[in-house]
Structure formats: structure tokens, C-alpha cells
Amino acid sequence: MKKLLALTALLPAPALAASGPFFSLHNTNFVVLLAFILFIAVLFYYKVPGMLGGMLDKRAQTIQAELDEAKALREEAQTLLASYERKQKEVAEQADRIVAEAKREAEAAATQAKEDLKLSIARRLKGAEDQIASAEAGAVREIRDRAINVAIAAAAEVVASKTTAADQNGLIDDAIAQVKDKLH
């Protein structure tokens, strides 16, 4: 308790500063009260509360206008965002269509290239077969010609060795007669 009294002694006490009757100009509390009432009266006389209210209303209107403008800007931004998202979807769909079309074209080109390759291989095989057949026919002709030449030479030797000169002259005369009959 003693500590509490010591603390109150250290604290300034404006209420204890006044002495004497309350409604006296020597009483500081009364003077402060009169100054406060006079200050409030001056404020009301010059319509300060109305001006403050008007200023606050004006500030509220300004804030409301800014909020409305911000809301309008937000809606516009959302509209733009939706537009860009729609355009992005359209571009993505178009890109997908382009990729699909390119794949189809690539597959068609690959199929066409396979067909062209098959035709080219078939043509080359046919050409090679024709060359082989031609070479084979040439080889057969050459072998036949050689066989004929060898057979003629062998027959000539056999005929020459087994026939006499009179037989040979008779054979020549028969061959000339056959040629005459066939030509006329």
C-alpha cells in the first residue's frame, strides 16, 4: 500500500491542480472546459462538421469511383483473358489439325514411295530378266552355231573320207538340181 501511495505522489495530477470553487476563472479545470466548449462552438459556427462530412462523402465517392473503375478494368481483363484463352484453344486445335494432316500426308507419301519402289524394283527385275533371257538366247544361238559348224566340219570330214570323187560330183549335181527346182 505504501508503494501505491508513493507512485501516486510521483504521477502528475491535473485534477489536484485546481483549488477553490469550480466556477471560478482561477480554476484551471473550468477554464479548460470553457475553452473546449468555445472551440466546439466555433467549429459548429463555421460548419466544420458539415465540411468534414462533405469531405468524407467526397472521399467516399472518389473511392467508390475508383472501385467501380477497378471493377470495370477487372471485367475487361477477364474478358480479354477469356478471349486469349479461346484464341489459344483455337490455335492449339489448329496446330493439332496441322500435325494430323502432316502425319496423314507423310503416311501417304511413305505408301506412295513404297509403291514406287516396288514398281521400280519390278521394272529392274524385268529388265534384268530380259537381259538374262537375251544373254541366254545369245549363248544358245552361239552354241548352236558352233555345234552346227562343228557338225558340218565333222560331216565334211566324214563325207570326204568315205566318199569318192565320183560320189561327190553326184552329190553336187543333186544339190544343184534341188536348188534349181526350188528357185523355179
Please give the chain's pLDDT, 184 residues, in tens: 455 444 444 444 454 555 667 778 788 899 999 999 999 999 999 999 999 999 999 999 999 999 999 999 999 999 999 999 999 999 999 999 999 999 999 999 999 999 999 999 999 999 999 999 898 888 888 888 888 888 888 877 877 777 777 777 887 888 888 888 888 6
pTM across the whole model:
0.39
CA distance to 3, 22, 39, 55, 163, per residue, from 50 (Å): 50, 34, 16, 8, 164
d(C-alpha 79, C-alpha 72), whole Å: 10
Q: Are 18 and 29 in contact (CB under 8 A)?
A: yes
